[in-house]
Amino acid sequence: MSAAEKDINTALSSRLATMQASGVPPIVWENSEYTPVHGTLYMRENFFPNIKTQVGLEDTSTDNYEGIYQVTISDWTGNRRFDAQEQARLVSVHYPRGSEFTYNSVKVRITRSVIETPFINENQFFVPISIYWRAFV
């Protein structure tokens, strides 16, 4: 992962961390261990850098980075689905279109935030939120 992608990831993760102060469910950071507590809602983050294109013709011109920052709300089957869906809505509005977040002078702009189709895997109910971003570095 490039230094720019690390800065982009950190800017987006830092924004998610600001939700912890408001009493949101636990956040499972990418590549960290977590043992779910039955009956407790939690969130998991993933960073997907997808596209890097050169903006100009010079070797030193700016690069356009684009990708998805995904936050998945996890609940247990049998619980009311509305808790997970409401938490997904709160995450989505926490990353509004047009907002910018900065880390190490790298600005990340949110292009859209989409609550994806929920799904069930074994005994858990998941609601993914795809946060589309762009950064010129």
pLDDT tens per residue across span 84-119: 999 999 999 999 999 999 999 999 999 999 999 999
Global pTM value: 0.91
Residue 52's pLDDT is 84
Task: Give the CB-side neighbour count of residue 62, counting CA atoms within 13 A.
Answer: 9
**Which domains does the chain possess?**
3-136 (3.30.2000.20)
pLDDT tens per residue across span 37-93: 888 899 999 999 988 888 777 777 788 999 999 999 999 988 777 899 999 999 999
DSSP 65-119: EEEEEEEEEEEETTS-HHHHHHHHHHHHHHS-TT-EEEETTEEEEEEEEEE---E
